[in-house]
Chains A and B, each alone.
Chain A
Amino acid sequence: MSAQASSPEITFHPNHSGGTKKIWRTFWLLSVLTIIELAIGLVIYNMHKGEHPNATLVLAFKGLVCILTLAKAYYIVSIFMHLGDEIRNLIMTIVVPLCLFIWFIIAFLWDGNSWLNLRNRYQGVPAKTEQVAPAATEKGAKD
């Protein structure tokens, strides 16, 4: 164990002698999560090809992909970056500031959405003729 002592002031040594089994298990886990994400991505793609995609269902699938991504992030940080092996206070100084993202994401996406609503209300929604029309070109898009 003395090989790990990078500095005399460090008395805590996470146990790394467990072999590579955990690493490979995480690799397969990340791969499977990615494949599920891709499958959902293709489902969303095929829903968009249809005439009127169900907006709620699309949103639900997108939310699911976001949750899977957070799971991937958790495994990368905790297993690959060994943060899970550090002592709790170090984990907390990293993780607690990141909670700012909760506010950050909600506030700014809200802002974007409010911008959209204001612009559409006072400038009018742009004409959508081209978006509705391509029923004819849809046949061509499939070959």
Chain B
Amino acid sequence: MSTAAVQKETKWWSGGRSPFNASYGKVMMWYFLMSDAFTFGAFLISYGTIRFSQNFWADPNHVFNSFPFAGHANLPLAFVSLMTFILIASSVTMVLAVHEGHNMNKKGVEKYMIMTIIGGIAFLSCQAWEWTHLLTGEHVALLSDGTLSVLPTTVKANPWGAELSHEAIAAALQATPHEQLASIASTLHHGGEAHHSVAAMSNAELIKFIQESDLKASNTGPIAFGGYFFGITGFHGFHVFSGVVINIVMYLKTKMGHFDQRGHYEMIEKAGLYWHFVDLVWVFVFLCFYLI
């Protein structure tokens, strides 16, 4: 390398030399990621501010306690740990792809990019399941009009308030109209054909049936919970999605031999920076929404 000769001719502050001895693209990727870190940071801090200002906040171990195909088993933290490990694993395959790129090993880059893409898609599928599970949830909450109702978690309302006592549930059931009673009763039935027989029952029968099945109900939770949860995990999920798209493009470009022609695999490195950033953000989302 003719390093000494180059430096002699260089006018340091007149261009002609990378200020940080890194390529323009890489430096700008870092600055983009820094600004993105502030965006995510602002979202999470705003969530923290609202959470600090509330007397009561939803308990994550109560909200996120289900696992696909596990029915109503109480498994706090289980599903989100799976998601976290998927993302860590895909981060490792990405850094291995970057490493193979340094060694100009096209086959290796292709292999690890495929694995990273699969990891990203797996993570997105997990998130899709989690959102669906919350948006179609069958928890029962006490509404402001004093009636009980099946309430999914949305940006407008959620059933994650403090748990109600048996007496409070019994009182609220008396005030609850027939339709809501029937829908509560049908969530307690796990058999298929029971649904229409529930509608035919009288109010008194329904209340008796509901109380016999030991219904658990809560107050409605803090309104901001749904908006912050879906907003921040959604924004992160959008980053994962765009990361997967970028990785697919990088995989195709590797496959077509673009980087071999160019003589370096720096694009893989830049895509890798973005992908690791997505993992980095998840570490903090995981902390703020699921752990504390």
Residues of A that sit less than 8 Å from B by CB? 1, 3-12, 16-17, 20, 23-24, 27, 30-31, 34, 37-38, 40-42, 44-45, 48, 62, 65-66, 69, 72-73, 76-77, 79-83, 86-87, 89-90, 93-94, 97-98, 100-101, 104-105, 108-109, 111-113, 115-116, 119-120, 125-126, 128-131, 133-134, 136-137, 140-141
Tell which of A45, A87, A120, A129 touches B61, judged by Cβ atoms closer than 8 Å: A45
- Say if the beta carbon of B160 comes within 8 Å of chain A: no
**Interchain residue pairs with CB less than 8 A apart (11):** A3-B264, A4-B264, A9-B18, A23-B92, A44-B291, A45-B61, A80-B279, A112-B52, A116-B52, A120-B55, A131-B162
Contacts of A82 in B (CB 8 A): 98, 269
B230 CB to closest chain A CB, in angstroms?
20
| Contacts A4-B264, A37-B291 given; does A112 touch B164 at CB 8 Å | no
A89 to B19: give the CA distance in the assembly, Å. Answer: 9
Complex Cα distance, B77 from A134, in Å, reads 23
- Contact in complex: A105, B48 (CB < 8 Å): yes
A17 to B104, CA, bound (A): 12
B57 to chain A, nearest CB (A): 11
Q: Which residues of B contact A141 (CB under 8 A)?
A: 163, 216
Q: How near does chain B come to A18, taking the closest CB pair, in angstroms?
A: 9
What 6 A-B pairs come out closest when comparing CB atoms? A112-B52, A133-B165, A12-B21, A112-B49, A90-B20, A115-B53
Give the docked Cα–Cα distance between A17 and B101 (Å).
11
Query: For the complex, is B56 an interface residue (Cβ under 8 Å from A)?
Result: yes
> Counting CB contacts under 8 A, is B219 at the interface?
yes
Q: Indicate which residue in A20, A41, A86 contacts B77 across the interface (CB closer than 8 Å).
A: A41
Contacts of A40 in B (CB 8 A): 291
Residues of B within 8 A of A131 (CB): 56, 162-163
Binds A, one of B1-9, B128-136, B151-159, B202-210: B1-9
Alpha-carbon gap, A119 to B41, bound state (A): 26
In the complex, the answer to whether A125 meets B283 with C-beta atoms within 8 Å is no
A11 engages B21 (CB within 8 Å): yes
CB-based contact A3/B263 at 8 Å? yes
CA distance A116 to B175 in the complex (A): 32
How many whole Å from B246's CB to the nearest CB in chain A?
Answer: 15
Query: Could you tell me the distance in whole angstroms from the C-beta of B271 to the nearest C-beta in chain A?
Result: 12
Q: Give the complex CA separation of A10 and B27 in angstroms.
A: 12
Considering only CB atoms, which chain A residue lies closest to B51 in the complex? A112
Residues of B within 8 A of A41 (CB): 61, 76-77, 290-291
Whether B77 contacts A140 by the Cβ 8 Å rule is no
B163 with A130: CB separation less than 8 A:
yes
The complex places the Cα of A20 from the Cα of B94 at a distance, in Å, of 12
Partner of B53, one of A90, A94, A113: A113
Provide the bound-state CA to CA distance between A103 and B56, in Å.
25
List the B residue with the shortest CB-CB distance to A16. Answer: B102
In the assembled complex, which residues on chain A have CB atoms less than 8 Å from the CB atom of B17?
9
In the assembled complex, the CB of A2 is this many whole angstroms from the nearest CB of chain B, namely 8
A7/B18 in contact, CB under 8 A: yes
B53, B104, B263: which contacts A112 (Cβ < 8 A)? B53
Tell me, rounded to whole Å, the shortest Cβ–Cβ distance linking A64 to chain B: 10
Question: In the complex, given contacts A23-B96, A42-B76, A45-B76, what are 9 additional A-B residue pairs having Cβ atoms less than 8 angstroms apart?
Answer: A6-B23, A20-B99, A37-B287, A41-B290, A44-B292, A72-B283, A98-B37, A108-B48, A109-B49
Chain A residues with Cβ under 8 A from B214's Cβ?
Answer: 140
Q: Quote the shortest CB–CB distance from B119 to chain A (angstroms).
A: 13
Kindly state whether residue B194 has any CB partner on chain A within 8 Å: no
